[in-house]
């Protein structure tokens, strides 16, 4: 019986980037888990516009799953100036 050879996380990250057609991205998480009936590395990484989730076969290094979605818009943050109460009243 042969053992499964597990590729390194760095090699799996490179395969995830290649599967997404990217040279670089900011990786936010990774895990080694069972999916698709095999052991895979699962990565989340981001570019300026998109968030990616990629699954890389831990034995072959093949990118076996890739999802991308738009980065959510940041919430609107209005800035308010608080005026002293004396400036808010009108003296008649």
**Any idea which residue has 């008649």 for tokens?**
92
The per-residue pLDDT for 2 is: 34
**Residue 11 confidence class, pLDDT cut points 50, 70, 90:** very high
Q: Spell out the domains of the chain, with CATH numbers in brackets.
A: 9-70 (3.10.450.40)
Burial class (CB in 10 A: 0-12, 13-18, 19+), 78: exposed
**Stronger pLDDT, 3 or 71, i.e. the higher one:** 71
Q: pTM of the prediction?
A: 0.72
- Per-residue pLDDT reduced to its tens digit, 49-65: 999 999 999 999 999 99
* 3 state DSSP class of 55: strand
- Per-residue pLDDT reduced to its tens digit, 30-50: 999 987 788 999 999 999 899
CA distance 73 to 43: 22
Contact 56, 36 (CB under 8 A): no
The per-residue pLDDT for 26 is: 95
């Amino acid at each position: 019986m042969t053992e499964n050879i597990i590729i390194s996380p760095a090699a799996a990250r490179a395969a995830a980037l290649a599967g997404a057609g990217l040279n670089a991205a900011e990786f936010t998480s990774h895990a080694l888990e069972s999916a698709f009936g095999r052991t895979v590395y699962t990565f989340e990484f981001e570019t300026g516009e998109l968030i990616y989730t990629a699954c890389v076969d831990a034995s072959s290094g093949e990118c076996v799953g890739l999802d991308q979605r738009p980065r959510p818009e940041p919430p609107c943050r209005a800035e308010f100036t608080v005026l002293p109460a004396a400036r808010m009243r009108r003296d008649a």
